[in-house]
Structure 1
Amino acid sequence: MSELWLDITDIPATGREFSFSDQSLWSGSIAEFALPYRLDLPETGLAAEFTVTPQGRGVLLAGWLRGALVTPCDRCAEDVLLAVDTSFDLYEELPLDDEQTLEPGLVRRRGKILELDAGSLLWEQFLLALPVKPLCDDDCPGLCPRCGVRLAEGSCDCETETSDPRMAVLRNLKVPRGSN
């Protein structure tokens, strides 16, 4: 995953804004995890912006992530252009000077310097913004399980079974009648 640590030690009380449009921030992690997303078309790309505002013993992270990417349809494997448009508001507690945590957060302390893991923040928001099952169309019929033809383009000549093949063993089962 792309690491991008930002120094947030001297953030003013009104907050500081950060903007990101470099596609390598997302494309590096997409390649690392072998995900089927592409940002290589001219109309695709992602941009993010967030503000870091001090809040008590932590920081408020408020921003958005917008853009588009290409991924295969979950039913027919055709390319789908997915629009990404999400906003987020997170509160991250700052670690104490001597605090050792088992599960690190988005903010770490290195001596007197506070750093925010912007790479992890943006990657998490990117993944949360994507649909679980991307489809080219809500009514996409998918592929024929026998021959692989795309059913949206027409039907195939494969026989369709009307019954569940897993139940075939029960078809000839005879149940003895009990006496009343």
Structure 2
Amino acid sequence: MTHIAHQPGKRLVRSNNGTGPRRWSGTAPAAAPVPIPSGPLWDEHGWQPDGTHRKTNTSISPEGVPFSYSKALREASPSIKSTDVTRLHNGHIPADYSAEALRHGATVEEVEMLWAERWSKGGLHRRFGAELPVAAPQTAAVAPRTTATSTRYRTRATKLGAAVDAIRNLNIPRKDTTDDTENV
């Protein structure tokens, strides 16, 4: 197929099985033109909108950072630098942990320190003084209990402790408190 000269949007196609005087016709429409993006082609970290890096044309940056890792950290802290993302990735710190710490206001050095000290992801809000999200209040009132239920369960340890307490309360004299002078 070739383009018809000076007629954009039309192409020559074979008709009549390619035989006869009118074997070419120019009625087939050409493919729709590809829209040219008007915005920036990549962000300040070099990522294109489709998740590929502008230098490697893959989903991994030249420093070895995957797009998903970089995206998670950039969503948590938009002002983070590419070197800091690479530093956290090379420190083998999970993306969700790093993003949670950055969301609570930690610096990159603090994230590395907290990861080395084995702070849990759930404890990061206590470290930085943020409140945990509170569950929505229930709309209907909770019905009161009609029967009393025990909140303590008897385990082997509680049974053993109760037995030791019962033995102590028997007031059996111990050997050290008895007088051995009577048996002489």
TM-score, with length taken from structure 1? 0.23
Which one has the bigger strand percentage?
1
Whichever of the two has the greater Rg, that structure is: 2
Q: Structure with the greater relative contact order (CA < 8 A, sep ≥ 6): 1 or 2? A: 1
